[in-house]
Amino acid sequence: MNTRTRTTPTPAPWGPVPKAAVPHPGTALLTVLLGILTLASVGWITSFVLIVAVWAAAAGESVVGYLALYAACLATGAALLTALACLPPVRRMPPPRRALLLNAVACPIPLTLALITWTTTT
């Protein structure tokens, strides 16, 4: 085998995660901002669901199905984010960029639902 036919081996798709790169201040700030918006939105929706469940229980209605549906929605969202985080191209990303991507994907739906419930109930 001569030197012209040698090739470098391609990295395995499930290879090791790259070492942490120093995040840019903008990337870190945007990641934290999106994470706070997501957590605040999910917290608002959860408190809203619990308040409605308490009112329904006080009225004598069954709230098991209502709470089970909300828990299923949360579990589905968490499973989809976990599936995205385990994809090989996402795993090979540097951790600050991966966190920004996952926060950017997780933020819009809870934020939209929180804004809709906030504006329609107040």
Cα separation of 92 and 97, whole Å? 10
More confident residue, 25 or 59: 59
Quick check: 2 pLDDT over 60?
no
Tell me which residue of 11, 13, 2, 7 sits closest to 91, measured CA to CA: 13
Q: pLDDT, tens digit, for every residue of 100-122?
A: 999 999 999 999 999 999 999 87
- Residue 91 backbone class (left: φ over 0; alpha: ψ -120 to 50; beta: rest): alpha
The per-residue pLDDT for 4 is 60
Q: Which residues contact 37 (CB under 8 A, 6 or more apart)?
A: 107, 111
Quick check: 82 pLDDT over 70?
yes
Mean pLDDT of 22-46: 91
The per-residue pLDDT for 25 is 85
Cα separation of 36 and 38, whole Å? 5
